[in-house]
């Protein structure tokens, strides 16, 4: 079955079985490997992308569910780490093993698109579906606040 969607602003058409997880289409068919496979059960958030601006778990989203919609992956932030979130992530040394980080960034980007000045509680609520085995949660919180301040200045 041919499925057409937008990925990072570009229209893409792929051939896939309707129940193929979006994650595999993003990685194997489209070639964007920033999005990671962790648990495959919608539990860890490593595979988080945005669907029409809302964070979703691409490991448990059938590709047929995104036909005609807009998918955004971590590659959309910037190619050179110039997005305020990427800069804040680097400044706060957020990534440790790094495996969860693209999912963390996509949840954080969705939060800041809706809330320019999130509180600790807002951040904890928005990020609660993204697990980090390396325990980078305090750094993530600090980096989100830095990025939010930077974005408010722009």
Q: Are 49 and 71 in contact (CB under 8 A)?
A: yes
Out of 12, 29, 34, 39, name the contact with ligand FES by CB under 6 A: 39
The smaller minimum CB distance to ligand FES, of residues 39 and 142, is found at 39
Return the exposure string of 74-85: e unless at least 16 CB atoms fall within 10 Å of the residue's CB, then b: bbbbeeeeebbb
Q: Is 42 in the site for ligand FES (CB under 6 A)?
A: yes
Q: Is 55 in the site for ligand FES (CB under 6 A)?
A: no
The smaller minimum CB distance to ligand FES, of residues 4 and 138, is found at 138
- DSSP per-residue codes, 53-116: TEEEEGGGSBGGGGTTSEEE-GGGS-SSS-SHHHHHHHHTT--SS-TTHHHHHHHHHHHHHH-S
Closest approach of ligand FES to the CB of residue 147, in Å: 17
Closest approach of ligand FES to the CB of residue 16, in Å: 18
> What is the contact surface with ligand FES in residues (CB under 6 A)?
37-40, 42-47, 57, 59, 95-101, 132-134, 136
């Amino acid at each position: 079955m041919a499925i057409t969607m937008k990925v990072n602003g570009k229209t893409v058409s792929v051939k896939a079985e309707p129940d193929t997880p979006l994650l595999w289409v993003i990685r194997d068919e489209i070639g964007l490997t920033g999005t990671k496979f962790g648990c495959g059960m919608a539990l860890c958030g490593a595979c988080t992308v945005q669907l029409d601006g809302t964070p979703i778990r691409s490991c448990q989203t059938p590709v047929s569910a995104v036909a005609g919609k807009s998918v955004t992956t971590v590659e959309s932030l910037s190619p050179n780490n110039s997005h305020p979130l990427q800069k804040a992530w680097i400044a706060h040394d957020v990534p440790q093993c790094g495996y969860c980080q693209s999912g963390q960034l996509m949840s954080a980007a969705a939060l800041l698109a809706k809330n320019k000045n999130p509180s600790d509680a807002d951040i904890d609520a928005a990020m609660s579906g993204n697990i980090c085995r390396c325990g980078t949660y305090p750094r993530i919180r600090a980096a989100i606040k830095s990025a939010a301040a930077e974005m408010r200045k722009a």
